[in-house]
């Protein structure tokens, strides 16, 4: 059953924290609604980027309403952060245990993030001034909690789009280009220790 808890987001030009809500289990309708809200904003941003002869984000074509059918399976769960009824970020998790590729942890269960995206109005490159900062951080935090709760020991894994490599490299281990696929994406893992550092800001 879906539940909500408070989680704050950061205002872009100050230290003010704004109260939002983390929803730990979204419905298919939630994803469709998020897509309907995000698509026009993204489209406007793409038009502007085109006119300015700037590159488009690599995930410009994503459509969360098309990912909604994944929720027919218990193997997937989608979380989101909402503020005043608008979805600020989405994350699709696979609850099918992946296997760690990190040295010393090889074979241990790892929580795999299938998709993660922040709302277009929270991305500086798309809108100039983002509405909120820290949506991606909050989603990673929620993934870490879920990983612990579900017995994955806090371990998280994902494939990053190249535009996001630098963000994940701050908190996770970059295991390089994934030779098992041809899309040229890098594979990242957060170990249990890295999870604690991510959440506590220091080595335990």
Beta carbon of residue 27, minimum distance to another protein (angstroms, whole number): 15
Beta carbon of residue 70, minimum distance to another protein (angstroms, whole number): 4
Which residues within the stretch 26-55 sit at the binding site for another protein (CB under 8 A)? Answer: none
Which lies closer to another protein via its Cβ, residue 170 or residue 203? 170
Among 42, 67, 83, 131, binds another protein (CB under 8 A): 67
Q: Rounded distance, CA 1 to CA 30, Å?
A: 14
| Residues 81-100 as x/- pattern, contact with another protein by CB under 8 A | --------x--x-xxxx---
CA 103 from centroid of its chain's CA atoms: 24
Residue 26 tokens, joined: 């979204």
Which lies closer to another protein via its Cβ, residue 104 or residue 107? 107
Which residues within the stretch 108-167 sit at the binding site for another protein (CB under 8 A)? Answer: 109, 112-118, 123-125, 130, 133-139, 141-142, 144-146, 148-151, 154, 158-161, 163-164, 166-167
- CA angle, corner 122, sides to 21 and 124, nearest 5? 160
Residues 6 or more apart whose CB falls under 8 angstroms from that of 88 comprise: 9, 20, 80, 81, 82, 118, 119, 122, 131, 132, 135
CB 65 within 8 A of CB 38: no
Among 102, 110, 191, 198, binds another protein (CB under 8 A): 198
Number of residues that bind another protein (CB under 8 A): 78
DSSP line for 21-34: EEESS--HHHHHHH
| Residues 158-187 as x/- pattern, contact with another protein by CB under 8 A | xxxx-xx-xxx-x-------x-xx-x-x--
Residues 6 or more apart whose CB falls under 8 angstroms from that of 5 comprise: 21, 22, 24
């Amino acid at each position: 059953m879906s539940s909500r808890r408070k989680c704050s987001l950061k205002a872009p030009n100050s230290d003010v924290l704004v109260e939002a809500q983390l929803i730990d289990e979204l419905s298919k309708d939630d994803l469709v609604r998020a897509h309907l809200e995000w698509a026009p904003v993204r489209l406007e941003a793409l038009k502007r980027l085109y006119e300015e002869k700037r590159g488009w984000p690599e995930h410009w074509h994503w459509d969360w309403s098309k990912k909604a059918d994944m929720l027919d399976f218990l193997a997937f769960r989608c979380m989101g952060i909402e503020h005043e009824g608008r979805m600020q970020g989405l994350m699709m998790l696979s609850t099918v245990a992946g296997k760690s590729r990190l040295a010393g942890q090889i074979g241990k269960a790892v929580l795999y993030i299938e998709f993660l995206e922040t709302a277009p109005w929270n991305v500086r490159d798309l809108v100039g001034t983002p509405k909120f900062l820290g949506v991606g951080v909050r989603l990673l935090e929620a993934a870490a909690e879920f990983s612990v709760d579900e017995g994955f020991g806090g371990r998280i894994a994902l494939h990053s789009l190249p535009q996001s490599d630098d963000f994940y490299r701050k908190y996770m281990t970059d295991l390089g280009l994934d030779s098992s696929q041809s899309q040229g994406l890098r594979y990242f893992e957060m170990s249990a220790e890295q999870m604690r550092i991510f959440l506590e800001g220091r080595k335990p």
